[in-house]
A and B are shown apart, each in its own frame.
Chain A
């Protein structure tokens, strides 16, 4: 989902910056407040950022004979809420842009929108929805992380299609084309991201009860909510 440097026209780059900036500013404010009010969750916050750092660095092979990487932003989103991930994801993307030539300065905001904003919000929304439907926690976490990952790549396909509509079939033609590049490769990787996120959440439920209590995770299912 890293759109390479210079691959979005200046107008698009500016528009995505306008979209991303408020999210990142709010996120910085939220992270700051979270660390001040709840110093005990600092380490878990760092660990969630680290998870995104590793996972988005690993190029994994896919059954299609191509390679891609997961995003790792679903975990932090379901633990801390999606707004916190905008800052963490931006830091990860900035490192990759400046030191690894992965992504670009002019495409940073578009990449932030897909990986650090839409992916986390989709993951968080799905977790809430799945809990509301009384789907077991592990399955909810799996779905949230997996579909958050796929949402990120869908947004990237949309961003590229907006910038480069097909001369004949327009935005939709282009969108389908870009989705065709990403989706088959990404599907198994999204499953892997879902599995790894469940592994971490399982661990947290066993050993990090104190932090999860502060964060009020897991979001209660409807049945227990009605009882309390």
Chain B
């Protein structure tokens, strides 16, 4: 399992790095978000469309980066806690059966 997962994670990392390398060769590549590009496409189809509702709150850029980090940290924290907890539990179980022999 370990070797296979290592390989899968490597493959994912290669895909990300490869994407940056290939992507940056493209003309005008700025790695703009596709969500933003879609909203620009809306403007191209219906130039007179005006969003009828404004964001309730938009974080200032510096704070936004912090909130992004917070979101990733919270998610990774909970996920990491679970994975570590289960590994510890499995080891404990193994130790106990060893001691029982």
A26, CB-defined interface residue at 8 Å: no
Contact status of A186 and B51, CB under 8 A, knowing A66-B23, A100-B59, A100-B64: no
Q: Mark B73-92, 1 if CB is under 8 A from A, else 0.
A: 01111110111011101100
A57, CB-defined interface residue at 8 Å: yes
Give A185 to B81 CA distance when docked, in angstroms.
32
Stretch among A28-36, A122-130, A204-212 lining the B interface: A204-212
Nearest B residue to A163 via CB reads: B42
Nearest B residue to A51 via CB reads: B79
Give A178 to B45 CA distance when docked, in angstroms.
10
Instruction: For the complex, count residues of B whose C-beta is within 8 A of A.
Output: 62
Residues in A neighbouring B4, C-beta threshold 8 A: 202
Contact status of A181 and B41, CB under 8 A, knowing A99-B59, A101-B57, A104-B53: yes
Residues in B neighbouring A59, C-beta threshold 8 A: 33
Q: Mark A47-60, 1 if CB is under 8 A from B, else 0.
A: 10111111101111
Give A199 to B3 CA distance when docked, in angstroms.
11
Residues in A neighbouring B90, C-beta threshold 8 A: 206-207
Q: Contacts A61-B19, A67-B33 given; 16 further ones with Cβ under 8 A?
A: A5-B54, A43-B85, A54-B71, A60-B19, A61-B23, A65-B23, A65-B31, A100-B64, A104-B55, A105-B53, A167-B45, A178-B38, A188-B15, A195-B9, A205-B1, A207-B89
27 residue pairs bridging A and B, Cβ less than 8 Å apart: A5-B54, A6-B52, A6-B53, A7-B51, A43-B85, A50-B77, A50-B82, A53-B72, A65-B31, A66-B31, A66-B33, A66-B37, A68-B34, A68-B35, A100-B68, A160-B38, A177-B45, A181-B41, A182-B34, A188-B19, A192-B15, A192-B16, A195-B8, A195-B11, A195-B12, A204-B86, A208-B86
